[in-house]
Amino acid sequence: MISNLRKAVRLPQPRRRGVDLSHPARSPLGTAVVNCAVYVDGVRQEGDHPADVAIHRVRKTGRGFVWIGLHEPSEKEFAGIVELFGLHPLAVEDAVYAHQRPKLEHYDDSLFTVFKTVRYVEHDRLTDTSEVVETGEIMVFTGTDFVITVRHGGHGSLGPLREQLECVPEQLALGPSAVLHAVADLVVDDYLDVASAVQDDIDEVESEVFSIRGSGGAGRIYQLKRELLELKRAVAPLDRPMQELATQSMSEVDPRIKTYFRDVADHLDRVTEQITSFDELLNSILQAHLAQVTVAQNEDMRRISAWVAILAVPTMVCGVYGMNFDHMPEKHWTFGYPLVMTVTVALCWVIHRGFKRNGWL
């Protein structure tokens, strides 16, 4: 049972990032409804029914539950489902207009959970304006005989997850809370994937900063910090909901699922630790880069100062002889001019050699 549950939830095959694998052919209720199905003893029942027919069937027999999947529904499209399932107005407003922090809310006999989904944006080379992390949202309404998932954003399709769960009926037989756990596990696994990809970008920037060229710009580092902050906003607020699902008794959550929520919470803690370490590493990289810039500027100033000192000798000599006094040293001597030029060049060479030895040039 446990091994099958893990296989069903962890999705071992690679997921295609950014590709919507939902099933528009299974949308008899309108454009926002991606899927609507009845599950009895973990087995999907044949036929696609409207939500009212599906929930009536479940409540009439007292067995199974309804899983409705929606993608960015409008208020009008969502109104019928709200009335049918008695969803709380506050939760409905959050589900329609999105842009919510991850959270878990209790409303009468249902749970409302918000997850922030993330996707790593592939790029050939990180620039000052590269988008690294793209976010979306999944809202889950969980009742005793229904689960409604509402997705916002162009990624995070639950179609593959639904198919995986349908391959393991004993997982779905645990009820709507099994779907809630599967969604949570999928979202947190995506966090791990994105964190791993962001680490590659950080390693690249770090290598360039400490390379001989030292070409890692501050703009790229700041851009990574901004994108890392976006990931942190998705991950950090989810800690408390996962702890509640893992430890508190709830009528909507099967006690057998709580153990698996603890596993998800452990993975979430791991991602949180990674993000914290990434942020500290980026701070260190930024400080190192600024130190390199300061050292380079100091070296430039030393070179400029050294050349100014060298050029001061001929400037002074030419300035003195340019005053055109009659009684200037060696002014009327045939070899006076070559002598002055020779002495000037010699002084410049001595000063240049001294600066060279001291590392100023």
Query: How do residues 203-224 score in pLDDT, each as one tens digit?
Result: 888 887 776 555 557 778 888 8
Is position 217 within any domain?
yes
What pLDDT, on a 0 to 100 scale, did the predictor assign at position 180?
95
Whether the CA torsion 276, 281, 284, 285 is positive or negative: it is negative
pLDDT recorded at residue 243: 92
User: How many domains does the chain divide into?
Assistant: 2
**Distance separating alpha carbons of residues 269 and 279, to the nearest angstrom:** 15
Are 273 and 308 within one domain? no
Report if residue 196 sits inside a domain.
yes
- The verdict on residue 296 lying in a domain is no
Residues 218 and 305 in one domain: no
At residue 344, the pLDDT reads: 82
Read off the DSSP letter of residue 119. E
pLDDT at position 147: 94
* Low-confidence winner among 5-9, 110-114, 239-243, 294-298 (lowest mean pLDDT): 5-9
Please report the pLDDT score of residue 11 as a whole number: 35
213 and 271 assigned to the same domain: yes
pLDDT tens-digit readout, 109-122: 889 999 999 999 88
Q: Residue 275 carries which side chain, given as an amino acid letter?
A: I
Domain boundary pick from 240, 262, 291: 291
Q: Report the distance separating Cα 193 and Cα 200, nearest Å.
A: 11
Residues 104 and 36 in one domain: yes
308 shares a domain with 258: no
- Shared-domain flag, residues 315 and 175: no
First to last CA, the chain: 73
CATH number at residue 280: 3.30.460.20
Domain limit, last residue, from 270, 291, 312: 291
Q: Are residues 52 and 190 in the same domain?
A: yes
Could you tell me the residue range of the domain that residue 280 belongs to? 2-291
If asked whether residues 22 and 120 sit together in one domain, one would say yes
d(CA 83, CA 93): 13
What percentage of the chain has pLDDT greater than the value 90?
30
> Is the CB of residue 58 less than 8 Å from the CB of residue 64?
yes
Domain assignment of residue 274, yes or no: yes
Tokens encoding 174: 């645990």
- Indicate the pLDDT class of residue 227, thresholds 50, 70 and 90: confident
Q: Of 261, 291, 321, which one is at a domain's C-terminal end?
A: 291
Same domain, 91 and 231: yes
**Residue 337: how many CB atoms within 10 A of its CB?**
12
The rounded distance, in Å, linking the Cα atoms of 75 and 100 is: 16
Contacts for 178 with CB less than 8 Å, ≥ 6 apart: 165, 171, 172, 254, 257
With cut-offs at 50, 70 and 90, classify the pLDDT of residue 15: very low
360 or 274, greater pLDDT = 274
User: What is the pLDDT at residue 185?
Assistant: 94
Q: What confidence score (pLDDT) does residue 214 get?
A: 52
Banded model confidence at residue 31, pLDDT cuts 50, 70, 90: low
Is pLDDT at 54 greater than 70 in this prediction? yes
d(CA 350, CA 286): 41
- 277 and 305 inside one domain: no
Are both 98 and 62 inside the same structural domain?
Answer: yes
Task: Report yes or no on 45 lying in a domain.
Answer: yes
Cα separation, 241 vs 244, in Å, equals: 5
Contact 36, 29 (CB under 8 A): yes
- pLDDT at residue 190 above 60? yes
Q: Is residue 21 part of a domain?
A: yes
Q: How far apart are alpha carbons 65 and 172 in whole angstroms? A: 9
CA 132 to chain CA centroid, Å, is 6
pLDDT of amino acid 216 = 53
State the chain's mean pLDDT as an integer.
Answer: 81
**pLDDT score for 213:** 57
Look up the pTM and report it: 0.74
In a domain, 156, yes or no: yes
Residues 42 and 190 occupy one common structural domain: yes
How far are the Cα atoms of 244, 253, 259, 333 from residue 146, in angstroms, in the given order? 20, 12, 21, 111
6 — pLDDT class (breaks 50, 70, 90): very low
Radius of gyration over every alpha carbon of the chain, rounded to an integer in angstroms: 34
Contact status, residue 233 vs residue 279, Cβ threshold 8 Å: no
